[in-house]
Amino acid sequence: MTLFIEQCLNGLQFGLLLFMLAAGLTLVFGIMDLVNLAHGSLYMLGAYFAATFAAFTGSFVLGAVLAMLATLLVGMVVEVVAMRRLYGRDHLDHVLGTFGLILFFNEAVRLIWGPAGLALPLPGWLQQPISILGFQYSAYKFSIIVVSLIVAGGLYALVMRTRIGMLIRAGASNREMVGALGVNIKLLYTLVFGLGAALAGLAGLMQAPILTVQIGMGENILILAFVITVIGGIGSIRGALVAALLVGFIDTLGRSYLPDMLREVLSPAAASTLAPALSSMLIYLLMAVVLIVKPEGLFSAGQR
């Protein structure tokens, strides 16, 4: 039971981390109708900025805040310089254009930080385990859960309870009408893209202490972010949260329990090799089932 609770917390932590990445992607995709393959590069930049600023300031928290602001600024600049040229064009143009941005960011990181990876050490108070339900759990992973829940609540309040959120929802429904009413739609798109970049940067900097900060680190996880966007429903924040939690639990519990189940019928080596692949397959199987039952995803764009 202790192992099960711990793995459920790990699944919750991983799912919420995926939500922060997928939320920015679904905002950009659902509102701006832009397929942004470079979203994973912003995730990577958040990790690199955090490692750099934390080393410069000597504070993990201050480095994380500065990294989010830097990623927000980079996202807004990218939207103004590159993304505006892609609006209204075919999705294939989006794919080709943003794939070019992936190559650009990878080479820019190589030039600035070098080919070797960076490390983002944790402060002592985040390295100590804490007691939850009678067992010890990582303080840092628990902090990811807390911060992600706060961000999810703040994002929901922003989209559903503020004037900017009203404009975002209106722009997603009918951007021409919003522009005709005098709203600066270009500025709105810049803010939305910057917000998505900041969320990707936050996900990257929070994953950085767990994994090595390295070039291309956002490319594999971006696939999961797109899967979550499709499962939850394009443009739906609520759908992104539900889908991210489902993916997080399926992946974590699958990797934890499938090896033991497969050892009943296979050799230990074969079971250890096959279990991660089956866990990944279950995620895509879930996506296929959702698309068959509800092609628009679990929630439509109107059900934010």
- pLDDT per residue, tens digit, the chain (304 aa), is 777 888 888 899 999 999 999 988 888 887 777 888 899 999 999 999 999 999 999 899 999 999 999 999 999 999 999 888 888 788 888 889 999 999 999 999 999 998 888 888 888 888 888 887 777 888 888 999 999 999 988 888 888 888 877 777 776 666 777 777 777 788 888 888 999 999 999 999 999 888 888 898 888 888 889 899 989 988 788 888 999 999 999 988 888 888 778 887 777 777 777 877 888 888 999 999 999 998 888 886 555 5
Of the candidates 183, 211, 182, 239, which has an alpha carbon nearest to the alpha carbon of residue 25? 239
Left (φ > 0), alpha (ψ -120 to 50) or beta: where does 233 sit? left
CB count within 10 Å of CB 31 equals 24
The single-letter code of the amino acid at 76 is M
d(CA 20, CA 294): 24
Give buried/exposed letters for 171-181 (b at 16+ CB in 10 A, else e): bbeebeebeee
**Which pLDDT score, from 0 to 100, does residue 53 have?**
94
DSSP 154-194: HHHHHHHHSHHHHHHHHHHH-HHHHHHTT--HHHHHHHHHH
DSSP-based three-state secondary structure for 19: helix
pTM for this model (two decimals): 0.89
**Which pLDDT score, from 0 to 100, does residue 65 have?**
94
**Which pLDDT score, from 0 to 100, does residue 124 have?**
83
**Which pLDDT score, from 0 to 100, does residue 304 have?**
54
Q: For the chain, how many helices (H) and strands (E)?
A: 12, 2
DSSP-based three-state secondary structure for 200: helix
* E strands in the chain: 129-132, 135-138
**Which pLDDT score, from 0 to 100, does residue 165 have?**
75
d(CA 215, CA 218): 8
Of the candidates 203, 222, 171, 157, which has an alpha carbon nearest to the alpha carbon of residue 33? 171
Inter-residue contact 273 to 294 (CB < 8 Å): no
Determine the angle formed by the axes of helices 237-262 and 268-293, rounding to 10 degrees: 150
| DSSP conformation class of 84 | G
Q: How many CA atoms lie within 13 A of 80 on its CB side?
A: 10
**Which pLDDT score, from 0 to 100, does residue 172 have?**
64
As a dihedral over the C-alpha atoms of residue 180, residue 173, residue 170, residue 16, rounded to 10 degrees, the angle is -150
Distance, CA of 202 to chain centre: 8
